[in-house]
């Protein structure tokens, strides 16, 4: 049995790969809910409270995961924070490092700690969560766009560094995903930003955002795990340093 570590919802990834799952998050209540959902599918799961912005916290938790599971074969590096919405000239200075600390430094801490254990085993598969915001910068999201662009670059570099150890590192870049809190938040804050790119009416913003997608809809979160499973699995065995866009075109 292979082991996986995830910073967020594993959905169907475990069933496709035959993994046990370690769940990491800062929120104990969210962790308990996620663990229960995984266990309901007949998959072994354990949850761990972890602050990805703290290298000490990450190192301690990753070591505990290895002690509990024996090894880590797969990593879905998925923690993130959307940040504020404002034109770059008005973007709150205090929010910029917060976004980068969670989205970039946090992802680096997890990638570094897990890859060391993978190197010892001579096997590893890693998927980092980037975003279409990192492929083409969105208006009013300077910190988030910068952070996700950095994740794509980090993925490409890590893929080169870890290839000699039979460790593949790839990324996914979701586009607009909904419905739910993150979709509603983005629509409302883009409207409040009051720029030429979107209406000040959230209902119109929603239509504008969907209208910019060739498939004319937002993505469903359940359309992400299959892509992650593909990158973690053997069907992508000759792929590393790749960023797959999940964007509806």
- Cis peptide upstream of residue 158 (ω within 30 degrees of 0): no
Q: What is the mean pLDDT, run by run of 10 residues, along the chain of 249 residues?
A: 51 64 96 95 95 98 98 97 97 98 98 98 98 97 98 98 98 97 97 97 98 97 96 97 98
* Residue 170 near residue 239, CB atoms below 8 Å: yes
pLDDT at 11: 43
Radius of gyration of the chain (CA): 18
Q: Which two tokens stand for residue 135?
A: 């492929």
Give the pLDDT confidence score for residue 13 in this predicted structure. 54
Question: What residue ranges define each of the domains in the chain, with the CATH number in brackets?
Answer: 2-83+100-175+220-246 (3.40.50.720), 177-218 (no CATH)
Give me the pLDDT at residue 181, please. Answer: 94
2-6/74-77 β-pairing = parallel
User: In 194-224, which ranges are continuous DSSP H helix?
Assistant: 202-211
Q: For position 12, what pLDDT does the model report?
A: 45
Would you please indicate which residues are annotated as catalytic (active-site) residues?
A: 144
């Amino acid at each position: 049995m292979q082991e996986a570590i995830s910073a967020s919802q594993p959905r169907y990834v475990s069933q496709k790969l035959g993994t046990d799952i370690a769940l990491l998050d800062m929120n104990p209540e969210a962790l308990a809910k996620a663990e229960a959902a995984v266990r309901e599918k007949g998959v072994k799961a354990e949850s761990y409270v972890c602050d990805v912005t703290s290298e000490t916290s990450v190192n301690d938790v990753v070591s505990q995961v290895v002690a509990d599971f024996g090894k880590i074969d797969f990593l879905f590096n998925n923690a993130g924070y959307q940040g504020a919405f404002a034109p770059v000239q008005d973007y709150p200075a205090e929010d910029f490092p917060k976004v980068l600390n969670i989205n970039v430094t946090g992802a680096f801490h997890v990638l570094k700690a897990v890859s060391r254990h993978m190197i010892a085993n001579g096997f590893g598969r890693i998927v980092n969560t980037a975003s279409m915001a990192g492929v083409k910068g969105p208006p009013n999201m300077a910190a988030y766009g910068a952070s996700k662009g950095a994740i794509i670059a980090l993925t490409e570099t890590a893929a080169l560094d870890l290839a000699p150890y039979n460790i593949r590192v790839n990324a996914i870049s979701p586009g607009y995903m909904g419905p739910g809190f993150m979709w509603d938040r983005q629509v409302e804050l883009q409207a409040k930003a009051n720029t030429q790119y979107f209406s000040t009416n959230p209902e119109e913003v929603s239509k504008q955002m969907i209208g910019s997608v060739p498939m004319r809809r937002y993505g469903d979160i359940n359309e992400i795990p299959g892509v992650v499973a593909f990158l973690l699995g053997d069907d992508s065995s000759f792929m590393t340093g790749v960023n797959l866009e999940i964007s509806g075109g």
